[in-house]
């Protein structure tokens, strides 16, 4: 067959192609969206409160468990809670994955392993669905689209556990680090802390979201560069409202004033929310699907070929935890 390429610049009228966008929008609105967000950090850093504040509803694990007790669990156990929320006709299935026990023990060696395992398990689930003979029209997506990592507001630098966690998870999921309970830092202290954190991240080769290498075009690079110059965002969360200047605002009331959560002069909660939800939500999903998932898939396919090329069939997944371990296994 032969192919001719013509530039359609001489159009004699209006065809109406842009209507395709409306068709697509209609369909996606009807189908609804899924979004899976993981929160990681020690007890007491305000993870549940922040998630509730982000989505303005009681979506965290704590709010959903009827007999919740504040206990430090002995191991890191992941809990996921799903909610269907709707706004202006757009339906979203939001899943919040909590990681109680992370970093809470005396010896926190390898406390990231259950998390790595969970992330990889979701990729595996999706891969199996995708390879199935009779696959669903819409494969249910449980992959972690975003991992918010809570850094305590010490004002110094990243701690070893922060570096170890982000080094490993940064390779398989999009990490958004935040400075938690930032109401103990002044603006100058906050800026210096952020600068040191950025230096530590660079020194350890940790790439957090939005990753520089995934910028698709110069326009996006400029937009994302400005975000990269300001992360990690310093946040404060609350679900309590107070009166300020005749308005009801979300805030934390102290003797020396009210910290308004949504006031960008006070903290960067609004910036985080805008990034995660209002401007980059779809991009987070795309990076997970097009990059992290594809990386996982390629690795899995190579593994199966290595061991079972005779059959062309793959067995149950190998017990691969962290990326480091993976490298040694592939030399079997």
Instruction: By CB under 8 A, name the one of 155, 230, 258, 323 that touches another protein.
Output: 230
Q: What is the rounded distance in angstroms from the CA atom of residue 37 to the CA atom of residue 86? A: 17
Q: What is the rounded distance in angstroms from the CA atom of residue 103 to the CA atom of residue 40? A: 9
214 near another protein, rule: CB under 8 A: no
Binding segment for another protein (CB under 8 A), chosen from 71-79, 96-104, 163-171, 225-233, is 225-233
Instruction: By CB under 8 A, name the one of 61, 234, 283, 287 that touches another protein.
Output: 283
Q: What is the rounded distance in angstroms from the CA atom of residue 230 to the CA atom of residue 264? A: 13
Please give the span between the terminal C-alpha atoms of the chain, in angstroms, as a whole number. Answer: 46
Extract the tokens encoding 152.
Answer: 């305590």
68 near another protein, rule: CB under 8 A: no
324 near another protein, rule: CB under 8 A: no
145 near another protein, rule: CB under 8 A: no
Q: What residue has token string 């890191």?
A: 76
- Lay out the site mask for another protein across 237-256 (x = CB under 8 A, - = otherwise): ----------xx--------
Instruction: By CB under 8 A, name the one of 58, 79, 85, 114 that touches another protein.
Output: 85
89 near another protein, rule: CB under 8 A: yes
Cβ-in-10-Å burial (0-12, 13-18, 19+) of 212 comes to exposed
Extract the tokens encoding 85.
Answer: 């929320």
* Full DSSP string of 55-116: HTS--SHHHH-TT------SS---EEEEEEEEETTEEEEEEEEE-TTTTTSS--TTTTHHHH
191 near another protein, rule: CB under 8 A: no
Asked if residue 173 lies in contact with residue 292, where contact means CB atoms within 8 angstroms, the answer is yes
Select from 211, 274, 277, 292 the least CA-distant residue to 35.
Answer: 277
25 near another protein, rule: CB under 8 A: yes
269 near another protein, rule: CB under 8 A: no
Q: Is 136 strand, coil or helix? A: coil
Binding segment for another protein (CB under 8 A), chosen from 106-114, 130-138, 148-156, 172-180, is 130-138
219 near another protein, rule: CB under 8 A: yes
Instruction: By CB under 8 A, name the one of 214, 271, 321, 323 that touches another protein.
Output: 271
Instruction: By CB under 8 A, name the one of 223, 258, 323, 326 that touches another protein.
Output: 223
2 near another protein, rule: CB under 8 A: yes
The minimum distance between CB 176 and another protein, in angstroms, equals 13
Instruction: By CB under 8 A, name the one of 87, 109, 188, 213 that touches another protein.
Output: 87
């Amino acid at each position: 067959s032969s192919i001719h390429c013509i530039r359609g610049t001489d159009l004699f009228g209006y065809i109406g192609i842009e209507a395709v966008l409306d068709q697509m929008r209609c369909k996606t609105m009807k189908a609804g969206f899924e979004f899976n967000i993981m929160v990681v950090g020690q007890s007491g850093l305000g993870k549940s409160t922040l998630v509730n504040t982000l989505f303005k509803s009681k979506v965290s694990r704590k709010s959903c468990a009827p007999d919740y007790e504040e206990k430090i669990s002995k191991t890191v156990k992941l809990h996921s809670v799903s909610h269907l929320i709707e706004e202006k006709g757009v339906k979203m299935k939001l899943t919040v994955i909590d990681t109680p026990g992370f970093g809470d023990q005396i010896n926190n060696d390898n406390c990231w392993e259950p998390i790595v395992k969970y992330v990889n398990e979701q990729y595996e689930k999706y891969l199996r669905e995708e390879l199935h003979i009779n696959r669903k029209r819409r494969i249910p997506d449980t992959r972690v689209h975003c991992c918010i990592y809570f850094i305590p507001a010490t004002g110094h630098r990243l701690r070893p556990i922060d570096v170890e966690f982000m080094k490993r998870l940064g390779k398989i999921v999009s990490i958004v680090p935040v400075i938690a309970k930032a109401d103990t830092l002044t603006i100058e202290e906050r800026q210096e802390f952020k600068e040191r954190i950025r230096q530590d991240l660079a020194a350890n080769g940790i790439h957090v979201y939005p990753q520089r290498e995934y910028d698709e075009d110069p326009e996006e690079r400029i937009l994302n560069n400005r975000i990269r110059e300001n992360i990690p965002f310093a946040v404060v969360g609350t679900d309590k409202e107070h009166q300020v200047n005749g308005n009801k605002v979300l805030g934390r009331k102290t003797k020396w004033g009210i910290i308004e959560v949504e006031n960008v002069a006070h903290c960067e909660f609004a910036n985080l929310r805008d990034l995660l939800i209002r401007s980059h939500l779809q991009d987070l999903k795309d990076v997970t699907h097009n990059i992290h998932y594809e990386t996982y898939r390629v690795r899995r396919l190579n593994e199966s070929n290595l061991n079972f090329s005779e059959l062309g069939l793959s067995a149950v997944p190998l017990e691969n935890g962290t990326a480091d371990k993976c490298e040694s296994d592939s030399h079997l």
